[in-house]
Amino acid sequence: MTQGGNPLALEVGDEEMLERVAASGNAMIARAITWANINSGSRNLAGLAAQAEQLEPVMREFPGKFERIPLADTCVIDTEGRNILQANGDALLLTMRPDTPVQIVLTGHHDTVYPPETPFRNVVTQSDGAFNGPGIADMKGGISVLLAALAAFEDHPLSANIGYRVLLSPDEETGSLASAPLLTRLGASAHVGMTYEPALAEGRLAAARKGSGNYHIVVEGKAAHAGRNFNEGRNALMGAVRLAERLDALNGQMDGVSVNIARIDGGSALNAVPDRAVLRFNARVPDAQSQAWLNSMIDAILAKGAGTDLRLSLHGGVTRPPKPFNAAQQSLFAAVAATGALIGQKIDWTSSGGVCEGNNLFAAGLPGIDTLGVRGGAIHSSDEYAWPESFVERAQLSALLLAKFASGAIDAVAIRRLMPA
């Protein structure tokens, strides 16, 4: 149903557009496999550049403005607790009809979690028919779906009624720290967001998403010989352990909040008191209130200290805020379900603890669907897979959504107005 209560229906130009998507199915899959065979791990700058070279000509086929945008270096805490700069790949931005009254933002990422040295390098077809390969679901397949849907939509008689921007970022898997300003700017200037992360199990969409933050606590002590002057040392590694225990104890104290102690860097020779350590942890929060609670608890833990003469410094924080399933999201998801029903697709959704660019867009005031990519699973592992038939399915859903935004059958402006000020 639309906001006005009228049922959606297939309109002039819709069926022809869906046929164009279906006809592009083999090409859609073939290029996704080609792209997935390129290692573009977030820190593989050469691989990211090679992937961008593949994507650029496809994006330039559209008559809008294409930009290849160098991103700023990002600060990271190394194993010694030093703040160093790390380079990023380029973001790719396509702008179409920016002056039309209805604006859509479509996003994806061309980086993956797989480092250059991974043995998991090429897409193969499994015995069950699924494609298995690095990034085939997350999200080279999603990018192919996105671009195929737009190509088919551009020949729709109502395509001129909406404008859109397509952002493909190189750093989603490391938190979108460099592309965050772009996401914020685009989110603040549009009405609906469409992001192409792979669908959840059985093709479901992600509704509410938790917020996520990565934290690094640098602990500085004093080095000493473990035998000659042990008592003069101040063990930074033990300080990190004490902090880890207190942080872990936060689990279960607030509904929906989780703190995962991920790693402690520190120590060297067995006969030396460690003078430096780095404690790293990830936190998930369901809403702004729990995020404020978590921040206050971390502050209290740090204020208590970690041991005599140990110095503490906190880095990081929540960089992807929570994405609750509010009135705007509920209205948008109902419209997506109604659109899917027109082409025999049952659309369902569930909450997710995972995060993505959709969190950033939502924080900028943009309602959105962020699991419009292919059906698959086991992402971030050598078992990652995608179902071949889902390429056409998901591209048809996206193309039809764009057509309904263009006809006004789904009122994107009204959905955006439901977002809190």
pLDDT tens across 61-73, in order?
A: 999 999 999 999 9
What's the CA gap between 296 and 35, in Å, rounded?
44
pLDDT, residue 399, reads 98
pLDDT, residue 240, reads 98
What's the CA gap between 229 and 255, in Å, rounded?
46
pLDDT, residue 310, reads 98
Tell me the torsion sign for CA atoms 73, 75, 76, 81: positive
pLDDT, residue 228, reads 95
- CB atoms < 10 A from the CB of 331, how many? 20
In CATH, which of 1.20.1740.10, 3.40.50.300, 3.40.50.10860, 3.30.70.360 is domain 211-320? Answer: 3.30.70.360
pLDDT, residue 5, reads 56
Average pLDDT over residues 111-133: 97
User: What CATH superfamily classification does 14-208+323-417 receive?
Assistant: Zn peptidases (3.40.630.10)
- Domain range summary for the chain, segments of one domain joined by +: 14-208+323-417, 211-320
In whole numbers, what is the pLDDT of the chain averaged over residues?
96
Average pLDDT over residues 119-143: 97
Average pLDDT over residues 19-36: 98
For residue 204, give the nearest of 405, 396, 375 by alpha carbon.
375
Cβ pair 379, 196 in contact under 8 A: no
pLDDT bucket at 7, cuts 50 / 70 / 90? confident
What is the share, in percent, of the chain residues with pLDDT greater than 90? 97
Q: Which H, E and C letters describe the chain, residue by residue? A: CCCCCCCCCCCCCHHHHHHHHHHCHHHHHHHHHHHHCCCCECCCHHHHHHHHHHHHHHHHCCCCEEEEEECCCEEEECCCCCEEEECCCEEEEEEECCCCCEEEEEEEECCECCCCCCCCCCCEECCCCCEECCCHHHHHHHHHHHHHHHHHHHCCCCHHHEEEEEEEECCHHHCCCCCHHHHHHHHHCCCEEEEECCCCHHHCEEEEECEEEEEEEEEECECEECCCCHHHCECHHHHHHHHHHHHHCCCCCCCCCEEEEEEEEECCCCCEECCEEEEEEEEEECCHHHHHHHHHHHHHHHHHCCCCCCEEEEEEEEEECCECCCHHHHHHHHHHHHHHHHCCCCCCEEEECCCCHHHHHHHCCCCEECECCCCEECCCCCCCEECCHHHHHHHHHHHHHHHHHHHCCCCHHHHHHCCCC
Cα 344 from chain centroid (whole Å): 28
pLDDT, residue 165, reads 98
Per residue in 166-219, pLDDT tens? Answer: 999 999 999 999 999 999 999 999 999 999 999 987 889 999 999 999 999 999
pLDDT, residue 1, reads 44
What's the CA gap between 322 and 16, in Å, rounded?
39
Cβ pair 379, 288 in contact under 8 A: no
Average pLDDT over residues 146-158: 98
Per residue in 235-269, pLDDT tens? Answer: 999 999 999 999 999 999 999 999 999 999 999 99
4 pLDDT more than 90: no
Per residue in 215-235, pLDDT tens? Answer: 999 999 999 999 999 999 999
pLDDT, residue 6, reads 61
Q: Which residue type does 209 have?
A: R
Please tell me the pTM assigned to this model: 0.95
Beta sheet of 124-125, edge-to-edge order: 124-125, 131-132, 385-386, 376-377
Tell me the torsion sign for CA atoms 66, 70, 71, 72: negative
331 pLDDT more than 90: yes
Average pLDDT over residues 319-334: 97
